[in-house]
């Protein structure tokens, strides 16, 4: 009878532990310049932000959300000086609008208005890794806009960032060797020709009209 009672107690404790664990989840959020009432009556630069917000364990989700918000704030910083100490998207967007209007006043002949588009989405999620893709496309004058893509890798158990190097099982040297093997297989040069890892990749990207296989090509 004692053994049965002990078993039941252990089962209850394990169930309690499982219910205490709050799973990490993501929801989608959006923000546009129309959030500001003044932009409904006065022209404002177009701002479109689609991002994700982590929820669940408070300490973990706060770390992840902080990284996401920091990325958005940095992306909206188009001033010459470092961005003021803003802590949220509203303030960062307000700063973007302020600088855009100052630039428009200084350069009234600009052919296009400033705009910002930022998209942040969950790319991969497992018990060991959360990978978040962050894209930004901004136009702040000139012939065309500027696009950038970044990836944020997070340990879902702690909320801490994971360094890119730790995602690879082997060392940087082994990875370089493996990538060169793959590149050489795709290039398939005659046996007497050799390429360094960087030179192989460069030739694959920018093949020459002339004979590229001049004995040995090094980076």
User: Does 50 share its domain with 136?
Assistant: yes
User: Does 103 share its domain with 189?
Assistant: no
Rounded to whole angstroms, the Cα distance separating 180 from 199 reads 9
User: Does 132 share its domain with 213?
Assistant: no
Region 195-218 average pLDDT: 51
Residue 106 lies in a domain: yes
Joined together, the tokens standing for residue 149 give 């893509």
> What is the C-alpha R_g of the chain?
26
Q: How far is CA 46 from CA 42, 139, 149, in A?
A: 12, 10, 20
User: Does 58 share its domain with 81?
Assistant: yes
Q: For strand 46-55 and strand 194-195, is the pairing parallel, antiparallel, or unpaired? A: unpaired
Instruction: Specify the higher pLDDT residue, 58 or 6.
Output: 58
For residue 77, give its domain range.
Answer: 21-163
Residue 96 lies in a domain: yes
Q: Would you place residue 214 in the very low, low, confident or very high pLDDT band (cuts 50, 70, 90)?
A: very low
Residue 41 lies in a domain: yes
User: Does 143 share its domain with 176?
Assistant: no
Instruction: Give the model confidence (pLDDT) of 103-130 as tens digits.
Output: 888 888 877 889 999 999 999 999 999 9
User: Does 139 share its domain with 213?
Assistant: no
Instruction: Specify the higher pLDDT residue, 29 or 16.
Output: 29
**What CATH number does residue 89 fall under?**
3.30.565.40
Residue 43 lies in a domain: yes
User: Does 104 share its domain with 59?
Assistant: yes
Joined together, the tokens standing for residue 198 give 């960087």
pLDDT at residue number 89: 93
Closest to 37 in 3D by CA, of 85, 105, 90, 83: 90
Confidence check: pLDDT of 35 > 50: yes
Region 92-110 average pLDDT: 87
User: Does 183 share its domain with 206?
Assistant: yes
Region 55-69 average pLDDT: 95
Domains held by the chain: number: 2
Residue 11 lies in a domain: no
pLDDT at residue number 213: 46
Confidence check: pLDDT of 210 > 90: no
User: Does 58 share its domain with 155?
Assistant: yes
Q: How far is CA 161 from CA 53, 67, 113, 150, 152, in A?
A: 16, 9, 36, 13, 7
Closest to 31 in 3D by CA, of 9, 19, 46, 44: 46
Region 46-54 average pLDDT: 96
Residue 7 lies in a domain: no
User: Does 148 share its domain with 41?
Assistant: yes
List of E strands, 36-177: 46-55, 115-125, 130-139, 146-154
Q: Name the domain boundary from 141, 163, 185.
A: 163
- Render 185-196 in DSSP notation, one character per residue: HHH---TT-EE-
pLDDT over 70, % of the chain: 64
Q: Would you place residue 27 in the very low, low, confident or very high pLDDT band (cuts 50, 70, 90)?
A: very high
Nearest 5 degrees, angle CA 132-CA 133-CA 138? 140
User: Does 158 share its domain with 176?
Assistant: no
Residue 8 lies in a domain: no
Instruction: Give the model confidence (pLDDT) of 143-195 as tens digits.
Output: 788 899 999 999 999 999 998 777 766 655 555 666 667 666 766 666 656 65
User: Does 117 share its domain with 182?
Assistant: no
């Amino acid at each position: 009878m004692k053994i049965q009672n002990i078993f039941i107690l252990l089962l209850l404790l394990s169930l309690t532990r499982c219910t205490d664990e709050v799973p990490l989840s993501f929801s989608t959020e959006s923000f546009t310049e129309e959030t500001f009432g003044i932009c409904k009556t006065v022209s404002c630069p177009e701002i479109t932000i689609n991002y994700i917000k982590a929820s669940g364990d408070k300490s973990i989700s706060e770390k992840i959300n902080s990284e996401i918000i920091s990325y958005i704030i940095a992306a909206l910083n188009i001033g010459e000086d470092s961005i003021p100490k803003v802590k949220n998207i509203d303030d960062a967007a307000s700063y973007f609008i302020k600088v855009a209007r100052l630039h428009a006043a200084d350069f009234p002949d600009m052919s296009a208005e400033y705009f910002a588009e930022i998209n942040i989405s969950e790319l991969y999620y497992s018990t060991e890794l959360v990978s978040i893709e962050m894209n930004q496309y901004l136009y702040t004058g000139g012939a065309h806009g500027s696009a950038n893509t970044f990836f944020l890798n997070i340990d879902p158990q702690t909320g801490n960032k994971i360094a890119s190097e730790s995602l690879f099982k082997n060392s940087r040297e082994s990875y370089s060797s493996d990538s060169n093997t793959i590149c050489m297989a795709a290039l398939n040069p005659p046996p007497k020709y050799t390429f360094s890892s960087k030179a192989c990749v460069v030739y694959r990207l920018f093949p020459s009209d002339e004979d590229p296989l001049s004995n040995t090509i090094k980076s």
